[in-house]
Amino acid sequence: MSGARRLETRIRSAASEGRIALMPYVIAGHPTLDGFARTLLQVANEADVVEVGLPFTDPTADGPVIAEAARKALAGGANLDHALGAVKEARAASEACFVLMSYLNPLLARGAERVCKELVEAGFDGLIVPDLPLEESLELREPADASGLALIQLVTPLTPTERIAKLSAATRGFLYAVTRKGTTGARAEAESIHAYLDRVGSVCGLPICAGFGLREPDQVQALLGHAHGAVVGTALVERLSAGEDPRPFLQEFRGPGCNSQ
């Protein structure tokens, strides 16, 4: 089964259980380089999909909490090879799917075909590249499709519906719906999210996963019927930075009657 198909199946299975698929975001090499593999497995065992952020020197979509954690991870020696190794270990011990979020430059430096092959071999199912426009994505999209790796597109509340339809046709696995304007971290504005997500759903046949600004269980539960998955990032990174066990925090998001793996 391709990574794209695994992602779609895993996210839809959560909906069949009457819940939102939980997608925690972690940063490769955080909170420590040596402890990341253990942290990743702890998170994976509470998740449907884990989004692993590759730390980058010049982020454009990251809020201050994630940017600072990424800076520390880079200073500690985090890199793509370390992320590949940690995911390979976690994949062998967890049923979760794994997605890499990376800016474009580190991927191009590695080579598009090589990086797609290495991601699949390590156990990644998908790839998100927030600074890669659809019109410039062919160099990465072709090897991703050939390897079964889902190249996932993003939309925002400012994206016109016609553009959402075009991005929906190009995405694989799921469509990432950014729920707020600006960078990660601030609380999402609930009053307009549902209408926005319903507009996305009207033209997208794949699962829709919401992200940016989702910090609390009530926000995630409120997405039922409007989205299929929710990315919890900054709030988790804050707790990992403070040395907390991520498991009790993530269990709050799974809803009543939903046990961890």
Residue 58 CB neighbour total at 10 angstroms: 9
Angle between helices 161-170 and 190-201 (to 10 degrees): 60
Question: Are the C-beta atoms of residues 178 and 154 closer than 8 Å to each other?
Answer: yes
- Alpha carbon distance 177, 157 (integer Å): 8
Q: What H or E segment, with its residue span, contains residue 250? A: helix 246-251
φ, ψ of residue 208 to 5 degrees: the values are -115, 125
3-class DSSP state of 208: strand
d(CA 70, CA 102): 12
**Measured between alpha carbons, how far is 158 from 189 in angstroms, rounded to an integer?**
14
Known catalytic residues are: 51, 62
Tell me which residue of 99, 92, 134 sits closest to 120, measured CA to CA: 99
Cα–Cα separations (whole angstroms), residue 168 to 27, 158, 193, 195: 26, 15, 18, 17
